[in-house]
């Protein structure tokens, strides 16, 4: 009986999980994409944010993650597959990149 109850509970939890929308899945990946979260460098919704400030030859330099809310899907994929100087390289599937794309573009789609 105890096991049956556990089994029922587990399947309820899994069933619940499959109800998340693609946008929610995209938000999850955006915050925690098997690597450093995009959120740290591109802000909560992709609006961009200050990563660090430092001095170079006596001049203050701001290092910023750019606004990526209007980046088209093709460019998002390109960006995630190539090597950058600051931004890490990710190993995300097409489906995952598409979900992040929908999360970043949700307000423009409504
Ligand atoms: C450590 C900081 C950092 C993290 C984490 C990071 N980025 Fe970036 N990203 C940058 C910086 C800095 C640039 C601009 C310079 C460059 O291309 O490296 C950039 C550029 C981009 C661009 C290109 C924007 C343009 O207009 O050319 C896209 C798209 C992008 N990031 C998406 C993402 C996504 C999605 C994630 C998470 C999976 C992510 N980034 C994680 C720092 C970061």
3-class DSSP assignment, residue 54: strand
Range of the domain at 53: 21-109
pLDDT band at 10 (very low <50, low <70, confident <90, very high): very low
Q: Which residue has the higher pLDDT, 94 or 9?
A: 94
- Direct distance between the N- and C-terminal alpha carbons of the chain, in angstroms, rounded to an integer: 47
3-class DSSP assignment, residue 70: coil
CATH number for the domain including 51? 1.10.760
In a domain, 51, yes or no: yes
Residue-wise pLDDT for 42-61, tens only, equals 999 999 999 999 999 999 99
In a domain, 2, yes or no: no
In a domain, 49, yes or no: yes
In a domain, 94, yes or no: yes
In a domain, 45, yes or no: yes
Q: Is the CB of 71 under 6 A from ligand 1?
A: yes
Domain count, the chain: 1
In a domain, 57, yes or no: yes
Q: Is the CB of 42 under 6 A from ligand 1?
A: yes
In a domain, 35, yes or no: yes
Mutate to test the pocket of ligand 1, among 32, 39, 43, 66 (most ligand atoms within 8 A of CB): 66
pTM: 0.78
Selection from 21, 23, 22, 26 nearest residue 37 by Cα: 26
In a domain, 84, yes or no: yes
Distance 66 CA to ligand 1 centre (A): 7
């Amino acid at each position: 009986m105890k096991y049956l109850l556990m089994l029922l509970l587990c399947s309820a939890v899994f069933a619940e999980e499959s109800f998340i929308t693609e946008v929610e899945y995209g938000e999850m990946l955006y915050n925690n994409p098997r690597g450093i979260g995009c959120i740290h460098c591109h802000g909560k919704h992709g609006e961009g944010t200050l990563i660090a400030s430092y001095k170079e030859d006596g001049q203050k330099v701001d290092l910023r993650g750019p606004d990526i809310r209007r980046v088209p899907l093709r460019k998002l994929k390109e960006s995630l597959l190539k090597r950058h100087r600051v931004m890490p390289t990710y190993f995300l599937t097409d489906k995952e990149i598409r979900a992040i794309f929908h999360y970043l573009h949700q307000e423009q789609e409504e």
